[in-house]
Amino acid sequence: MICPHHRAPGVIFIGVDDAGTPTDLPITDALLLALSDIRSDGNILPLPALTVEKRHLAGRDVAVILVRPVDSPPVRYKGLVWIRVGPRRALASEQEERTLAERRRSHDTFPDIRPVYEAALDDLDRQSIRDTYLPRVMDTETLAANNRDFEMQLASLRLVHPGMAPGIPRVPTVLGLLVAGYRPTAYLPMAWLSFIRFAGETVTDPIITSHELRSPIPRLVSQVDELIHLRVMTRVDITSAATELRQPDYPIPAIQQIARNAIMHRVYEGTNSPVRIYWYADRIEMISPGGSYGIVTPENFGEPGINDYRNPHLAEAMHNLGYVQRFGVGIRIAQEALRRNGNPPLAFRVEPHAVMATIHKKRE
């Protein structure tokens, strides 16, 4: 359904038989919601562009899914690449997957998969890709039987640009350097995170600790998680209940979700500014370079169901690495964690070139 060669959308009808006759299947809101969730459940990567509607056919209700073609094949379903072969579907062969990756060249419009010509394949940690990334992306049987050239595997995963012509060396993409580069900031000077803890409530107060994190994303996220766990203070209450109650000043999942969102949605071009986490005595501020994007505006920022992706392939990679369970729900997870812990709601300030999220400390 996601075929880039004819550039036309595909249509799926739910509630008709093989002859196209409506079957009186109840087209409920629950069904439409379940169909819409196909987009964000993480099984199809990169994320498909689809719309789900209730329509009338021959006087009866049917559900219609409109699927738009992708610009960055191959598309994987649960780690496998499927193609149409005449009237049937089949797993893509090595040559077919290579053709899909090469077809992407003229459509590389997303900044997270642009080639970084100054870098070389030796700048990528191949062992880390083999040991950590590939097993999370590819089906186990496919990986075991995979005889593809390693560079073509990297190209199909968008970690390496397929090359502009025969004989021209392949180079890492922005995504490749972010996920598996030995030194991402050598070529992407903005790809780091500043973590500062202040003694008071302003940037002029004394600094308790300061960290500059310049690792590839798997290590970067791990380092941020370590700092979060070290900084969250937990008060133990042994008087209010029969068993002790542990009450952290911040819920760790909320901080993690917002930090990972900041890394995933920031701009990776046109600036040298890092993601900033400022930990004050009364709040945490996270600043992500790059304003709102796509259908997300300053007015609807953070509203349920309103999400878009500046870096869709980075979002895919972070999902593969286990940092994003479902797309488009990070803010909701954070808000719910704050509510359960007794913290005030998240506050956002959306500016043209940055987004700041503020997490306030739990009230005493």
Task: Map out the domains of the chain as residue ranges.
Answer: 10-68, 106-186, 193-360
Q: Say what the pLDDT of residue 151 is.
A: 84
CA distance 341 to 336: 9
Q: Would you place residue 112 in the very low, low, confident or very high pLDDT band (cuts 50, 70, 90)?
A: very high
User: Are 309 and 329 within 8 A, CB to CB?
Assistant: no
What would you report as the CA-atom Rg of the chain, rounded to the nearest whole angstrom?
Answer: 23
Q: Is the pLDDT of residue 235 over 80?
A: no
User: Are 293 and 355 within 8 A, CB to CB?
Assistant: no
More confident residue, 308 or 212: 212
Query: 244: Cβ–Cβ under 8 A, 6 or more apart, which residues?
Result: 236, 237, 238
More confident residue, 331 or 74: 331
Q: Say what the pLDDT of residue 106 is.
A: 47
Q: Say what the pLDDT of residue 166 is.
A: 58
More confident residue, 309 or 165: 309
Is residue 222 helix, strand or coil? helix
Whether cis (ω within 30° of 0) applies to the bond prior to 74 is yes
Q: How many CB atoms lie within 10 A of CB 254?
A: 26
Q: Is the pLDDT of residue 74 over 90?
A: no
Residues of 39-57 as b/e, b for ≥16 C-beta within 10 angstroms?
bbebebbbbbebebeeeee
Q: How many CB atoms lie within 10 A of CB 204?
A: 7
Q: Say what the pLDDT of residue 242 is.
A: 53
- Strand ranges of the sheet holding 275-279, from the earlier edge strand across to the other edge: 207-213, 193-198, 275-279, 283-289, 354-360, 347-351
More confident residue, 228 or 303: 228
> Is CATH 3.30.450.20 correct for 193-360?
no
Q: Is the pLDDT of residue 156 over 50?
A: yes
Q: Say what the pLDDT of residue 10 is.
A: 82
CA distance 88 to 137: 25
More confident residue, 233 or 79: 233
